[in-house]
Amino acid sequence: MNAEWRPSLAMAVTAAVLAAGLLAGCGTTDASLQPSAARQLQARVLEVSEASSRNDPAAALKALENLESDLAAAQSKGQVSKERQQTITTIAAAVRADLNDAVAAAAAKAADEARVAEEAAAAQASREAAQKEAAAQTPAPAPAPATGKDDGDGDDKKGNGGKGKD
């Protein structure tokens, strides 16, 4: 398993749990949830599920907040029984914990990637500085020796001068 796959799997599992649990909690099988409130809450569940499936836990958390707000409003209007609200709230709390874990994992991964990139940049800068220092300390090459013979008179002529054969 690679690091990219695990957060996606976590988000997919979260989306599946969310869809199953909250849709069951928002179903209209009894009088504890009015049909109009059920439709509204199911639309909010869908928003959370879609954001989770896109691997966007921040958006999923925002959608979950909207779901909880709509749930509270529906309960205050008598469209949701207290028991049904508690069931949905319990499921939503579990989903929120999973989403918060996904956000924390993504933040830790981003911090780790930033640290690795910073270390690589520092190592590269160190290598470049060492190369510059080595280039600055390398001595210039010595001049090549003259190829002609110098007899001291400045004319550098090959001849018999100074060998006793003038």
Work out the average pLDDT over 128-153.
73
Q: Which residue ranges make up each domain of the chain?
A: 7-108
Measured CA to CA in angstroms, residue 23 lies from 34, 35, 42 at distances of 14, 13, 6
End-to-end CA distance of the chain: 94
State how far the Cα of 25 lies from the Cα of 98, in Å rounded to an integer: 18
Paired with 33 in beta bridges are: 80
Say whether pLDDT at 10 is over 70: no
Q: Which amino acid is at 150?
A: D
Collapsed DSSP state (helix, strand, coil) of residue 139: coil
Lowest mean pLDDT, pick from 8-17, 33-42, 102-111: 8-17
**Mind listing the pLDDT tens digit for each residue in 68-100?**
999 999 999 999 999 999 999 999 999 899 889
For position 12, what pLDDT does the model report?
59
